[in-house]
Amino acid sequence: MLVAAVKALAAQSPALKDPEKGLLPDVVNVREISVHIARAVIIQAVDEGLATEKGIPSDDDGELEEWIREQMWDPVYRPLRLVSKEKASKHARGEMGIAGASTW
């Protein structure tokens, strides 16, 4: 499965299309590259009889890639807001590294 992952990553190398480009894909494309790698690893695991997950779709008609995307974590970040050290809670002051403040 490791070899399948390495081959899938290598197949996405920008250097294959342009020798002047980098060896690894840009991190901007990490989710799409991850889908390609996961697809290769899953296919290898199924072929070797090592896949334990039930309901893995076949690789026909993009069903497997869609299933992989459904399994992926979508990060949701809370919005940041500026808090002055005077108005910050005791815990927040500790995280800010203000002397004498406890982290709990």
Residue numbers of the domain that contains 67: 2-71
The rounded distance, in Å, linking the Cα atoms of 14 and 22 is 6
Q: Are residues 54 and 8 in the same domain?
A: yes
Q: Are residues 8 and 54 in the same domain?
A: yes
- The whole model's pTM is what? 0.71
Q: Are residues 64 and 85 in the same domain?
A: no
> Given this model, what pLDDT does residue 95 score?
67
The rounded distance, in Å, linking the Cα atoms of 46 and 63 is 15
Task: Measure Cα distances from 55 to 63, 67, 74 in Å.
Answer: 11, 10, 22
> Given this model, what pLDDT does residue 99 score?
53
Label residue 90 by pLDDT band (50, 70, 90): confident
Label residue 96 by pLDDT band (50, 70, 90): low
**How many independent structural domains does the chain possess?**
2
Q: Are residues 28 and 46 in the same domain?
A: yes
Q: Are residues 12 and 61 in the same domain?
A: yes
Q: Are residues 84 and 53 in the same domain?
A: no
**Whether the predicted pLDDT of 44 surpasses 70:** yes
